[in-house]
Structure formats: C-alpha cells, structure tokens
Chain A
Amino acid sequence: MNNIHFVVIYFVILVFILAVLLLAWDKKAVGLSMDFDERQRQARGTAFQYAFFGMFFYEVMNIILSHGFDMQWCDSDTNSMLAISIGVIIFASVSIWKDAFVAFRDNKFRNGLIILIAAVGNIGAGIAHVMEEGITIVDGKVEQLSINLIFGVVFTWILLVWLLKLFMERIEER
C-alpha cells in the first residue's frame, strides 16, 4: 500500500468517528431519528446475525480455497472490501425485506434517493477509475480493484432490493 491509501483510510476512519460522535450527540442533527420500533429492532438483530455469518462463511471459504487449494482470485485489500460488502448487502437486504432498514418515522423516499445518488456516484467513479487504470491482473489475481466500483455494486443491489420491496408492498396494498 502506498501513502495515498493510508491517507484515504485515515480519512474514512476520521469521518466514521465524527459521524458516530455526531449521532451520539444529536441524532436529529444527522437527519435520522433512528427510531426503530420493537419489531424492527428484532428484525435488524436477525439481519446483523445473517450478515455476520455471511461474512464469516465467505472468510472461511476464502481461507480454505487460498490455503488448502492455493486458489486466490484477488488481493487481500479487495478481498477485505468484498467481505465487508457481503456483510452490508446481507444486512441491508434482510432488513429492507423485513421493513426495518430505515426508522419508521424517517422518510423512505429520501433514503431511497440517497442510496440512488450513492449508487450512481460510485458506479460512475468506479467505471472512470477502471477506464483510466484498467483492471490489474497479476498471477491470475485481480489487484487493487476500484473500491468505488465495489461500493457502486453494493448500493445498486440495495436500491434494487428496496425497489422490489416497494413494488411488492404496492401489490399487497391492492
């Protein structure tokens, strides 16, 4: 990893800590009520469990394939990002499906719009990155795959699940 990667990691950690502090200080300041009802809290707990075991399973498979069969298809940085992405995808999908992704007093459409912007922005940045630098493959392993592209796929998946859920709800209401 070169210096720019460390700068990005420090920046992300700093933003995360500031967001947590802001959230602890005043939830409304970040525009979230975080007001989940008892069923939603239970559903989110289940979603967290699925996400944890999903990540765990992915990592175990990874260790078995890389150490047991010497099969690695990407570098460790990309692999870590993929593991995190799998966790996020599982958590978001399960909680969206159980109506527990956003607090019940929050505006669903505003959250959908934020996800849409994040998906389009990341996909755009990811494609630009890939077009500029290409996908590096060393010894049959993908190296330094664009983080934006991975996040773009994650947000697009979340958006699709959200839209599907919205569609199912409309059918149910009829």
Chain B
Amino acid sequence: MKNLRLKAARAARDMSQQQLADAVGVSRQTISAIEKGDYNPSIKLCIDICKVFQLTLNDLFWE
C-alpha cells in the first residue's frame, strides 16, 4: 500500500527523496520504495523519518 502521508509530508517541506534519504542515512531508492509501498521500513527507520519531519509514528505510518 502506498504511503501517501510520507510523500505529502516530504512535499509540504519541499524536500526531495534524496534530501530525506541523506537525512536518515539510507539510499534514495529506499525512500522511493517506502513511498510506493514496496518496502516495509524497520521501526528504527520510521522513527528517524518521523524525527526529520517532527511528526509522530501515528501521523506518518499508522493506517
């Protein structure tokens, strides 16, 4: 399932996939895969992404 909330949060901050990837220490393709729903990130990576956006896990990853 696509993670549109993550994409929207990134777009709202005018952030590219590469910038987010650099901020959390993963590859751009990993961010792309999470947004497309092709990859389920670990809880650690979810937390790192939430910290970048200053949002909670519920905001970004809870259905």
Q: Interface of A with B (CB < 8 Å)?
A: 37-40, 99, 104
Contact = CB atoms under 8 A, between A and B. Distances in A.
26 contacts: A37-B25, A37-B26, A37-B27, A37-B30, A38-B26, A38-B30, A38-B41, A38-B42, A38-B45, A39-B26, A39-B27, A39-B29, A39-B30, A39-B33, A39-B39, A39-B41, A40-B27, A40-B30, A99-B27, A99-B29, A104-B21, A104-B26, A104-B27, A104-B28, A104-B29, A104-B30
A39 B28 CA distance: 11
Nearest to A40: B27
7 smallest CB-CB distances across A and B, nearest first, come from A104-B27, A37-B26, A99-B29, A39-B30, A39-B39, A37-B30, A37-B27
Interface residues on B, range: 10 to 19
A117 B30 CA distance: 29
Nearest to B29: A99
Given A37-B26, A37-B27, A38-B42, 20 more contacts: A37-B30, A38-B26, A38-B30, A38-B45, A39-B26, A39-B27, A39-B29, A39-B30, A39-B33, A39-B39, A39-B41, A40-B27, A40-B30, A99-B27, A99-B29, A104-B21, A104-B26, A104-B27, A104-B28, A104-B30
The residue in A39, A40, A104 that gathers the most chain B C-beta atoms within 10 A of its C-beta is: A39
Contacts of A37: 25-27, 30
Nearest to A37: B26
A96 to B, nearest CB: 12
Contacts of B33: 39
Contacts of B39: 39
A43 to B, nearest CB: 9
Nearest to B42: A38
A102 to B, nearest CB: 10
A67 B28 CA distance: 49
Contacts of B30: 37-40, 104
Contacts of A104: 21, 26-30
Interface in B23-63: 25-30, 33, 39, 41-42, 45
